[in-house]
Amino acid sequence: MGRSANDSGVAFDIDEETQLILRSLDEFVEQEVEPIAAELGETLTNPRLGHEPDGRLTDEVLGAIGRVRKRSAEAGYYAMNMPSDVGGEDVSAVTWYRANKRLATSAVPLSNEVLAGPAGPKPLLAAAEGDQIENYLEPAMRAEKTTAFAQTEPGVGSDSPNMDTNAEKDGDEWVLDGTKQWITNAPYADFVQVFARTTPQAEAGRHGGITCFIVEDDEFELGSLNNAVGSVGRQAEVRLDDVRVPADRVLGDVDAAFYDAMGFLGLGRLEIGAQAIGSAEWLLDRATEFATDREAFDRSIGDFQAISHKIARGRANVYAADAAGLRCAWTLDGGDPAIAESSILKWFATNTFWEVADDVVQVHGSSGLAEENPFMDRLHQARIFRVVEGTDEIQLNTIASQYGL
């Protein structure tokens, strides 16, 4: 499903197919996800209960996540944005955006596992050929295997072309050396998509000479867990010490993976933008309810401008961010890489989420800080969103360069 028939104008209405998907997702969360989350109860919401001493997610939590993903895959939601010829539903970027946003408005734990995130298949994996299809792509589509996207390094984040990880050809094998860091799902991945320099920049240019390799979980060493607040147990180091992989593990073309990686980040920015906006909407709804019910000085606290303006400002920014999200998704559906649009969305939506989350904690006062309430969890998530998939500063640099600076 691509752009609407009315390509000459702009439409913000939700088409019938997308409405059906959104309603079905609501039912799926209620019927499938909520019972699984209820079985674990506080284990999912209390970080002291759902993690091992080193931060790793417990087997109980991992099992619940896996069940949600597999049931979602069976229902056709998990990787529905992937091409139909690899088992996806080929839904548009606009529909994928709306679906991510919708799930972010849910208060049910594990709802964020319904759609494939960093652990699931992305368009880059659709380049799989030969045995890669049966061994990696198809199991990932069915949520039977999970993956990770290994690009960031200890000394190289946003400046990824200067990566130190390298691979050299040795007969029918490639030998990989280097360390990746902050790799989401690395502690649990069945295979990792590792980016390595295969030709020096002096020969291939800044953006050339980078290749993607499929490396299985028993072929690399898992380093320390990177336990970020709000995302404990999710990221880790991937250490590659003379790791040998056969030549048929190259994903895509040799020396041509940089732009594939950028495509991954563009989609990731759309997804994060959608999740940020959905989360901000959910928070504002809770703040509105609280401000209406809570009284102080014989008045609803929502009657005071100090409170009402926080919520009103949040509503205005979310409204604008959602328009930016739809514009970005619409641009992607037209075949444009949406470089400026995805950076604008990611920067504006995540900063809006951050400001809304902070204001909603403030509106709730002491109860906003309480562990049994979800507001600080959302605030932690908002802070993470401003760093992953490109920091605020990188987004602004990209926007400036796209507009001639």
Report percent pLDDT > 70 for the chain. Answer: 97
Which of 113, 237, 341, 389 is catalytic? The answer is 389
pLDDT of residue 7: 54
Instruction: Give the model confidence (pLDDT) of 292-324 as tens digits.
Output: 999 899 999 999 999 999 999 999 999 999 999
Alpha helices by DSSP H, listed for 80-158, are: 93-104, 131-132, 138-141
Q: Tokens in use for 246? A: 């056969």
pLDDT of residue 10: 66
Q: Which residue has the higher pLDDT, 218 or 229?
A: 218
Measured distance CA(234)–CA(222) in Å, rounded: 13
pLDDT of residue 230: 79
Angle at CA of residue 310, ends 305 and 314, nearest 5°: 140
- What domains appear along the chain, each with residue ranges and CATH number? 16-115 (1.10.540), 147-256 (2.40.110.10), 260-402 (1.20.140.10)
Alpha helices by DSSP H, listed for 33-188, are: 34-40, 42-45, 59-75, 93-104, 131-132, 138-141
Contact of 114 with 68, CB cutoff 8 Å: yes
pLDDT band at 359 (very low <50, low <70, confident <90, very high): very high
Taking CA atoms, 206 is separated from 112, 162, 194, 217, 337, in Å, by 36, 8, 18, 30, 20
Please indicate whether residue 34 is annotated as part of the active site.
Answer: no
Instruction: Give the model confidence (pLDDT) of 245-295 as tens digits.
Output: 999 999 999 999 988 777 777 889 999 999 999 999 999 999 999 999 998
pLDDT of residue 46: 82
Q: Tokens in use for 165? A: 């990880």
404: exposed, middle or buried (Cβ count in 10 Å: 0-12, 13-18, 19+): exposed
Mean pLDDT of 30-38: 97
Type of residue found at 103:
L
pLDDT of residue 9: 59
Taking CA atoms, 331 is separated from 3, 21, 92, 400, in Å, by 9, 21, 11, 19
- 268: helix, strand or coil: helix
- Residue 2 scores a pLDDT above 50: no
Give the list of residues 6+ apart from residue 80 with CB closer than 8 angstroms, or none.
21, 88, 89, 90, 91, 96, 99, 115
Instruction: Give the model confidence (pLDDT) of 142-187 as tens digits.
Output: 999 999 999 999 887 677 788 999 999 999 999 999 999 999 999 9
Mean pLDDT of 361-367: 95
Instruction: Give the model confidence (pLDDT) of 96-128 as tens digits.
Output: 999 999 999 999 999 999 999 999 999 899 999
Type of residue found at 82:
M
- Residue 3 scores a pLDDT above 50: no
